Chain A
């Protein structure tokens, strides 16, 4: 059994981003959409930390903190919008939020 190499981290990161992307494209529930976005961001975080470790530099780690901060505030805003939407039309499905179309 070999040691865990950066490649393994990158594969994990790729899988996480892929799962998030699929969730984003397939799910109709906006709550799930938000969660998928979080998964994608964390997948990117994993890749950044792996590069940071390989490169012996703190830059990646610092960027991860920024991403986490942004992700936290984004979720706060996203959930607030979601609540507002639910109050308006008793649904959190994205198909119901298509007033501009017509």
Chain B
């Protein structure tokens, strides 16, 4: 058992080391090693999930100790860990396969596949870890590998800036997370998840709202929630499979997973704050997605919005629903990102949706699988998104009407911008030369699309899930299924996507090179385009407040520390040495004279001439 788990964790690291150390100039072999490692991880994970222990199990060993304090390295395999392990290894493997096709003509494939392997290693570390400090270590590692992969096209200004932005914004959140870990250790005396759960059960007053919110900072940074959401849309500068794997299916979902892992710590107030934050994000990101022209940015904002749904579900006390939506979202969002990657690849890296059009006839597999993704995310009845999203909506309807209102408006927007994306890309007439010459991609790229498409269609039937996977979902789903207003919710949910679809049909049904929303409602369009000025506010803060402060501190540092203390002490020594250098003339008589004077001085001192 332990050997298998260790193997799952370290196989990708081994592959990354081999690729980055030895295979830098053997691109084909590097790709095979990386995909092979991902396949091995998938097989081992399936074995661990289905053939391993029935119940959750934990194992740990000493990593290192400082004085009396010990850091342990261990695994906690329980329901949520099994589910995320399945998602990470399964979606990860499909995206590795897709990358074989997508990156086929890239000149830096070894670097890319090495980065993917590092990412798999770090993400699996978060999934399996049994204590907060270990989670934090791997948390930083996913941040690093995300930085590495966003900056894959580092020659372009956009990608290098975006990678730095992602890294720095994540640091802000991780700082809060670190404070939260320290607070946890301070209050509880341990960071082990099992022990924490027992202690929190035993004495609930140990956890405080401040502690929860500090830990939730990690979630806010990694899952790109308000106010640290600014990095995710920019992160789309990376290769599309990376966006699918890291910025849609797994890494950004790690924030939700972290919350679920420590949900026993959360107080009422902290939960309410997270619910409201998530719901507001769900709506806000919808408005932003509505006016984007870049296909990947539309999907990025849609990811933000869906993460908001998960956060809201968690905040309303239904972590099982959050995990359920995380699972279905991982399928249909990875599907849509890979579909957009397929389109981008076929159109020679053209990303503006207004330059697409009519691609359904030229790329049928991509188009129909993409349509499945759109249907799923919009919550069309009996697709996977319908079950997970409407469960959250129903829960919110019964427990928190304001949150429901936000989420419901978000749901209408979701189907509106998703069908807008679909109509602009696949329907109508081609609006550019690239679009009219596009051809369907190789089966390396269509195979993952088909697999994910099937899962997006049928992934919502959780009762068909194997017991090992669904054990963490069942309690909340069963309580959701017995909530009142069930039928009313079906009507509401259905009307949401019908409204969105008909609005999209009305606005974008005809092929036009201009955005018809912009033509009809220019004021509204402009407001959405500004994204509520977050980037501008941060820029103002950095330029007007942080930079002057940094410059002031720099001057102080130059003046006092490096000037007065460092250079000052060295200068004093130099001054003294200059004085004494004048005594050294190389004339033996002079030395004799000094000697005589010195002897006389001693004599005078001995005679008491300088006083006693």
Contacts and interface: CB of A to CB of B under 8 A. Distances in A.
Contacts of A28: 589
B407 to A, nearest CB: 87
Contacts of A26: 589
B608 interface: no
Contacts of A101: 584-587
- Taking residues whose C-beta sits less than 8 angstroms from the other chain, chain A's interface range is 10 to 19
Interface in A27-56: 28, 33
Contacts of B589: 24-26, 28, 94
Interface string A43-76: 0000000000000000000000000000000000
A26 B585 CA distance: 16
Interface string A82-102: 000000000000110110111
B551 to A, nearest CB: 48
B587 A95 contact: yes
A100 B592 contact: no
A12 interface: no
B588 A21 contact: no
A94 B592 CA distance: 12
Contacts of A102: 586
Contacts of B592: 24-25
Interface in B551-601: 584-589, 592-593, 596
A95 B586 CA distance: 9
A33 to B, nearest CB: 8
Interface residues of B, number: 9
Interface string B505-519: 000000000000000
A21 B596 CA distance: 9
A95 B587 CA distance: 6
B585 to A, nearest CB: 6
A101 B596 CA distance: 21
SS class, residues of chain A in contact with chain B: helix
Contacts, number: 23
B114 to A, nearest CB: 60
Most chain A CB inside 10 Å of its own CB: which residue of B585, B592, B593, B596: B592
A94 B593 contact: no
Contacts of B596: 21, 25
A33 B588 CA distance: 10
Nearest to B590: A25
A25 B593 contact: yes
Contacts of A95: 587
A100 B588 CA distance: 11
Contacts of A94: 587-589
Nearest to A99: B586
A68 to B, nearest CB: 23
A100 B586 contact: yes
A40 to B, nearest CB: 11
B203 to A, nearest CB: 79
Contacts of A25: 589, 592-593, 596
Most chain A CB inside 10 Å of its own CB: which residue of B585, B589, B596: B589
Most chain A CB inside 10 Å of its own CB: which residue of B584, B587, B593, B596: B587
A98 B593 contact: no
A62 B585 CA distance: 40
Contacts of B584: 101
Interface in B319-367: none
A7 B275 CA distance: 109
B6 to A, nearest CB: 68
A25 B587 CA distance: 11
A31 B585 CA distance: 21
Nearest to B586: A101
A21 B599 CA distance: 12
A31 to B, nearest CB: 14
A97 B588 contact: yes
A94 B586 CA distance: 10
A21 to B, nearest CB: 7
A21 B593 CA distance: 9
Contacts of A33: 588
A94 B588 CA distance: 7
A56 B588 CA distance: 40
B582 to A, nearest CB: 12
A77 to B, nearest CB: 16
Interface in A1-37: 21, 24-26, 28, 33
Nearest to A21: B596
Contacts of B585: 101
Interface in B5-59: none
B602 to A, nearest CB: 16
A28 B584 CA distance: 18
B78 to A, nearest CB: 79
B598 to A, nearest CB: 13
A100 to B, nearest CB: 6
Contacts of A97: 588
Interface in B405-442: none
Contacts of B593: 25
A68 B589 CA distance: 24
Nearest to A95: B587
Given A24-B589, A33-B588, A94-B588, 20 more contacts: A21-B596, A24-B592, A25-B589, A25-B592, A25-B593, A25-B596, A26-B589, A28-B589, A94-B587, A94-B589, A95-B587, A97-B588, A98-B586, A98-B587, A100-B586, A101-B584, A101-B585, A101-B586, A101-B587, A102-B586
Interface of A: 21, 24-26, 28, 33, 94-95, 97-98, 100-102
Closest 9 CB pairs of A and B: A101-B586, A98-B586, A94-B588, A24-B592, A100-B586, A25-B589, A25-B593, A25-B592, A101-B585
8 contacts: A24-B589, A25-B596, A26-B589, A28-B589, A98-B586, A98-B587, A100-B586, A101-B585
Interface of B: 584-589, 592-593, 596
